[in-house]
């Protein structure tokens, strides 16, 4: 099992550009999550999904959209990137009452 994978690992955007971050898990997990982590801080929940076709807002959802068209994939979209969205993005997944397993992260810089 690859576990939780994230694509891309690094990306640099200009203000106003759009992009999609992909999270994939091969553990057949129901729940998936997107977090962001800014320097010196803990992770903050952006959006989450409790199953295929469902999404919900977390603590800091503004400026992001998500989709869960397939159970194994959770996409995070930035429609118009802003410098404030410079961060490291982590995806996680879990099943039932199990623990959350995290991906390696995507480092995004918005100029």
Residue 23 binding other proteins, by CB under 8 A: no
Rounded to an integer, what is the distance from CA 46 to the centroid of its chain?
8
Residues binding other proteins: number (CB under 8 A): 27
**No. of H helices and E strands in the chain?**
0, 11
The helix or strand, by DSSP H or E, that contains position 46, with its residue range, turns out to be strand 43-51
Residue 90 binding other proteins, by CB under 8 A: yes
- Of 14-22, 65-73, 75-83, 100-108, which segment contacts other proteins by CB under 8 A? 100-108
Residue 1 binding other proteins, by CB under 8 A: no
d(CA 2, CA 53): 23
User: In this structure, what are the phi and psi dihedrals at residue 63, rounded to the nearest 5 degrees?
Assistant: 90, 0
Residue 45 binding other proteins, by CB under 8 A: yes
Query: Beta-carbon neighbour count of residue 74 at 10 Å?
Result: 30
Among 1, 41, 62, 69, binds other proteins (CB under 8 A): 41
Contacts with other proteins by CB under 8 A lie at: 4, 31, 33, 35, 40-45, 48, 50, 56, 58-59, 88, 90, 92, 96-97, 99-105
């Amino acid at each position: 099992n690859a576990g939780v994978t994230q694509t891309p690992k690094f990306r640099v955007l200009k203000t106003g550009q759009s992009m999609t971050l992909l999270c994939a898990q091969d553990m057949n997990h129901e729940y998936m999550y997107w977090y962001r982590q800014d320097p010196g801080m803990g992770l903050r929940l952006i959006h989450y999904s409790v199953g295929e076709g469902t999404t919900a807002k977390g603590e800091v959802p503004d400026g992001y959209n998500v989709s869960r068209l397939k159970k194994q994939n959770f996409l995070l979209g930035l429609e118009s990137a802003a410098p404030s969205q410079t961060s490291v993005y982590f995806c996680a997944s879990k099943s039932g009452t199990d623990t959350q397993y995290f991906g390696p992260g995507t480092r995004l810089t918005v100029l």
